[in-house]
A and B are shown apart, each in its own frame.
Chain A
Amino acid sequence: MNDSQRFTKTTFTQKKESREKWVKVLLFMVTLMMALPVILLVSFLVHKALPVLSLNFITDIPRDLMSAGGIWPAVLGTIYLVVLSLLVAAPVGVMAGIYLNEYAKDNWLTRIINLAVINLAGVPSIVHALFGLGAFVMFAGLGESVIAASLTLAVMTMPVVITSTREALSAVPMSFREASWNMGVSRWQTIRGVVLPNSISGILTGVILEVSRAAGETAPIMITGAAASITFRQGETVYYLLGEKFMALSYHLYYTSMGWKVPDKLPNPETGEMVPMTQAALEYAQAIPYGTAVVLLGVVLLFNSVSIAFRYYLRTHRKW
Chain B
Amino acid sequence: MVAGTPKLNVDSLRAWYGSEEVIHGISFDVRENEIFGIIGPAQSGKTTLLKIINRTLEFTTGSRMGGLVEMDGQDVYHIKDVYGYRRRVGMVAPLPVGLPLSIYDNVAFAPRSFGMKDGEELDGLVQKCLEQAALWDEVKDRLDSLGTKLSGGQQQRLTIARALSHQPEVLCLDEFSIAIDPVTTMKIEDVLKDLRKEMTIILVTNLVQQARRLADRTMFMLNGEVVEIGDTEPMFSGNAKQPKTNAFVSGDFG
User: Could you list which residues of chain A lie within 8 angstroms of chain B, going by C-beta atoms?
Assistant: 105-106, 175-176, 178-186, 189, 193-194, 197-198, 319-320
The A/B interface has a contact count, at CB < 8 Å, of: 73
B99 and A176 within 8 A (CB): yes
> B248 on the interface (CB 8 Å rule)?
no
Contact of B87 among A179, A180, A183, A197 (CB under 8 A): A183
- The answer to whether A193 and B113 touch (CB under 8 A), given A179-B97, A183-B86, is yes
In chain B, what residue has the closest Cβ to A197?
Answer: B100
Q: What's the tally of chain B residues with a CB closer than 8 Å to chain A?
A: 30
Contact of A189 among B86, B93, B113 (CB under 8 A): B113
Contact of B93 among A175, A186, A193 (CB under 8 A): A175
Can you list 25 A-B contacts with CB-CB less than 8 angstroms, sorted by A residue number? A105-B61, A175-B93, A176-B97, A176-B100, A178-B56, A178-B59, A178-B97, A179-B159, A180-B99, A181-B59, A182-B90, A182-B91, A183-B91, A183-B109, A183-B165, A183-B166, A184-B113, A185-B83, A186-B83, A189-B113, A194-B99, A198-B100, A319-B100, A320-B100, A320-B148
Binary interface encoding of chain B residues 133-176 relative to chain A, with 1 for a CB under 8 A from any of its CBs, else 0: 00000000000001010000000000100110110000000000
In chain A, what residue has the closest Cβ to B110?
Answer: A183
Kindly state the separation between the CA atoms of A184 and B56 in the bound complex, as whole angstroms: 9
Beyond A182-B163, A319-B101, 20 additional pairs, beta carbon < 8 A = A105-B61, A175-B93, A175-B95, A175-B97, A178-B93, A179-B93, A181-B56, A182-B54, A183-B113, A183-B163, A184-B82, A184-B84, A184-B110, A185-B110, A193-B113, A194-B101, A198-B100, A319-B146, A320-B98, A320-B148
Q: How far, in Å, is B31 (CB) from chain A's closest CB?
A: 23
Interface class of chain A by DSSP = helix
In chain A, what residue has the closest Cβ to B87?
Answer: A184
> B77 on the interface (CB 8 Å rule)?
no
- Residues of chain A lying within 8 A (CB to CB) of residue B16: none
In chain B between 68 and 85, which residues have their CB closer than 8 angstroms to a CB of chain A?
A: 82-85
